[in-house]
């Protein structure tokens, strides 16, 4: 019962701030139709219920499955088995990620079906699977993470030269969206298990971080390659929202059930079948443990179904509407300020950030305070959303003007920051891009990009998730550098270097 109440409180604190902000804006700067407001309120309630059920399922089912799989692979100690497992599990865990499902649907919507959502899902999942297998290979051969990341991002920025503006934004957004509330716990659980291939406990600790970063880089590379191979750079971008007062309030939620029921089954079923197969040939869990994981998968499925219905029916339209209204105002300062506030609220309310901040405080033996990490992350993500808003208002300002210097700085710092912080920092990008970022804030930015004259919906409407994913990389490495310089506790220094 304690885990249910704890999860519910975390989700409530995550969704409630955005709900309050939207309701305040409705009575002040951005009035909306009563039907839209009611659908938003119902959607918010459903999202709270959905994420509580979903995260509970991940906690008792999917994460234990990842832990058991990682330990089982480590015990076998056969490289070919490890690589095949990485490919299969990486692909299907990405397919089931709610954030990526939302992003893929949004790409399909904005391009009027010219870039089908299932294509984004498949391509990103393939890239993620390949890089997870590559991450296992890195651990097996003891290759330092910072060297691997440096080479990968050199490849990414090499590919970026040949990638269109539209696909560049989608590629970096996909990297953040694919490492969300389902994929991150599962990948981290796998990483902990695979890291046990190392006999050295210090090396094993360092290798338990970084797999999320490698997985997200696979999403970037795969989407860029898709663009280069297809060479499709012209799109008919359009964004539609339903604002009519005559809209039925409950009917859209009911009508959406069949569509998202099929989508949820397709997402969860393959992973569930893999679990049953491994239980038969390898795990052989006791009945109690087996039933617990089965229950977890059931909760995950139900939570995903309710989440997709709520987000696509009652939540994202309001984000689009608010972004449209603020971008239409003569005083654009409101748009910039609200963007910053949304970024700060999102990161402070994200449940996974709470875990991350405690983890950093524990690793540094309390030297790097949780409050300092929270403040740094909140300001950083606030700036990320704020800069995304400014990019819409300044037509000549492009996404790569932010990402290139940001990642050059982030990659450069890897050679000076304690190596443990490198993995934590790059993994933190996935932690920061939670369900509220991939839904409400994405719709908010796209609404503004669709409205402001001179902005490009495809090029400027995407890229915000990429910015939110980049800033924790910079913030936490800077904290790591400060920790390295100022720490006088030799034992802590040895642990983090």
Render 406-425 in DSSP notation, one character per residue.
Answer: HHHHHHHHTTTS-HHHHHHH
**Enclosing domain of residue 421:** 14-234+249-496
Residue 232 has pLDDT above 80, yes or no: no
87: Cα within 13 Å, side-chain hemisphere: 7
Model confidence at 243, pLDDT cuts 50, 70, 90, reads: very low
- Tokens 């290979």 belong to 137
165: Cα within 13 Å, side-chain hemisphere: 15
Residue 240 class from Cβ within 10 Å (0-12 exposed, 13-18 middle, 19+ buried)?
Answer: exposed
Give domain status of residue 2, yes or no. Answer: no
For residue 261 the two structure tokens come to 């029921």
For residue 458 the two structure tokens come to 């495809």
Model confidence at 294, pLDDT cuts 50, 70, 90, reads: very high
Spatial distance between the Cα atoms of 292 and 282, rounded to a whole number of angstroms = 17
Spatial distance between the Cα atoms of 161 and 165, rounded to a whole number of angstroms = 10
At residue 209, the pLDDT reads: 64
Give domain status of residue 1, yes or no. Answer: no
Spatial distance between the Cα atoms of 179 and 196, rounded to a whole number of angstroms = 23
**146 close to 422: Cβ distance less than 8 angstroms:** yes
Mean pLDDT of the chain: 82
At residue 391, the pLDDT reads: 92
Give domain status of residue 364, yes or no. Answer: yes
For residues 155 and 368, which has the higher predicted lDDT (pLDDT)?
155
Model confidence at 240, pLDDT cuts 50, 70, 90, reads: low
Spatial distance between the Cα atoms of 260 and 265, rounded to a whole number of angstroms = 8
**Number of alpha helices (DSSP H) and beta strands (DSSP E) in the chain:** 25, 0
H or E stretch covering 376: helix 370-393
Spatial distance between the Cα atoms of 126 and 365, rounded to a whole number of angstroms = 39
Angle at the Cα of 196 from the Cα atoms of 194 and 202, rounded to 5 degrees: 120
Spatial distance between the Cα atoms of 296 and 272, rounded to a whole number of angstroms = 10
> Domain total for the chain?
1
Give domain status of residue 240, yes or no. Answer: no
For residues 70 and 218, which has the higher predicted lDDT (pLDDT)?
218
Model confidence at 208, pLDDT cuts 50, 70, 90, reads: low
Give domain status of residue 8, yes or no. Answer: no
At residue 261, the pLDDT reads: 93
Give domain status of residue 239, yes or no. Answer: no
**432 close to 472: Cβ distance less than 8 angstroms:** yes
- Report the share of the chain in percent with pLDDT over 70: 87
248-279: pLDDT as tens digits: 678 888 888 998 899 899 889 888 998 898 88
CB within 8 A of 451, min separation 6: which ones?
A: 323, 324, 327, 328
């Amino acid at each position: 019962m304690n885990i249910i109440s704890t999860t519910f409180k975390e989700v409530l604190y995550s969704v409630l701030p955005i709900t309050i902000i939207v309701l305040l804006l409705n009575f002040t700067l951005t009035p909306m139709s009563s039907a839209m407001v009611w659908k938003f309120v119902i959607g918010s309630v459903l999202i709270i219920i959905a994420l509580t059920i979903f995260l509970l399922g991940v906690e008792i089912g999917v994460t234990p499955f990842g832990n058991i799989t990682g330990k089982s692979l480590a015990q076998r100690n056969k490289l070919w088995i490890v690589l095949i497992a990485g490919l299969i599990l990486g692909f299907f865990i990405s397919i089931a990620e709610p954030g990526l499902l939302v992003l893929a649907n949004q790409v399909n919507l904005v391009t009027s079906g010219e870039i089908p959502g299932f294509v984004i899902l498949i391509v990103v999942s393939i890239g993620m699977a390949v890089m997870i297998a590559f991450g296992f290979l890195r651990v097996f051969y003891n290759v330092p993470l910072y060297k691997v990341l440096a080479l990968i991002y050199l490849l990414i920025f090499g590919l970026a030269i040949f990638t269109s503006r539209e696909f560049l934004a989608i590629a970096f957004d996909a990297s953040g969206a694919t490492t969300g509330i389902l994929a991150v716990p599962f990948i981290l659980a796998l990483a902990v298990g695979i890291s046990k291939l190392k006999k050295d406990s210090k090396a094993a600790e360092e290798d338990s971080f970084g797999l999320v970063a490698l997985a997200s880089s696979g999403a970037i590379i795969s989407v860029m390659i898709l663009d280069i191979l297809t060479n499709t750079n012209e799109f008919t971008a359009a964004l539609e929202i339903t604002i009519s007062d005559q809209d039925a309030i409950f009917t859209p939620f009911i009508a959406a059930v069949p569509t998202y029921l099929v989508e949820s089954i397709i997402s969860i079923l393959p992973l569930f079948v893999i679990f049953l197969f491994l239980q038969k040939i390898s795990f052989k869990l006791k009945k109690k443990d087996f039933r617990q994981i089965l229950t977890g998968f059931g909760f995950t499925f139900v939570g995903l179904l309710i989440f997709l219905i709520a987000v696509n029916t009652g939540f994202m339209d309001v984000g689009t509407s608010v972004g449209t209204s603020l971008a239409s105002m003569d005083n654009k300062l409101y748009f910039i300020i609200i963007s910053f506030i949304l970024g700060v609220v999102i990161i402070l309310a994200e449940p996974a950030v709470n875990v991350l901040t405690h983890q950093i405080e524990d690793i540094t033996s309390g030297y790097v305070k949780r409050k300092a990490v929270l403040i740094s992350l909140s300001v950083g993500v606030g700036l990320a959303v704020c800069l995304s808003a400014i990019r819409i208002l300044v037509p000549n300002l492009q996404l790569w003007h932010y990402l290139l210097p940001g990642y050059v700085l982030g990659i450069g710092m890897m050679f000076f920051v304690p190596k443990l912080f490198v993995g934590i920092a790059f993994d933190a990008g996935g932690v920061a891009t939670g369900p509220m970022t991939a839904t409400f804030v994405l719709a908010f930015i796209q609404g503004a990009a669709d409205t402001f004259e001179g902005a490009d919906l495809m090029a400027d409407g995407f890229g915000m998730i990429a910015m939110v994913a980049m800033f924790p990389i910079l913030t936490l490495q800077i904290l790591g550098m400060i920790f390295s310089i100022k720490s006088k506790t030799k034992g802590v220094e040895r642990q983090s270097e």
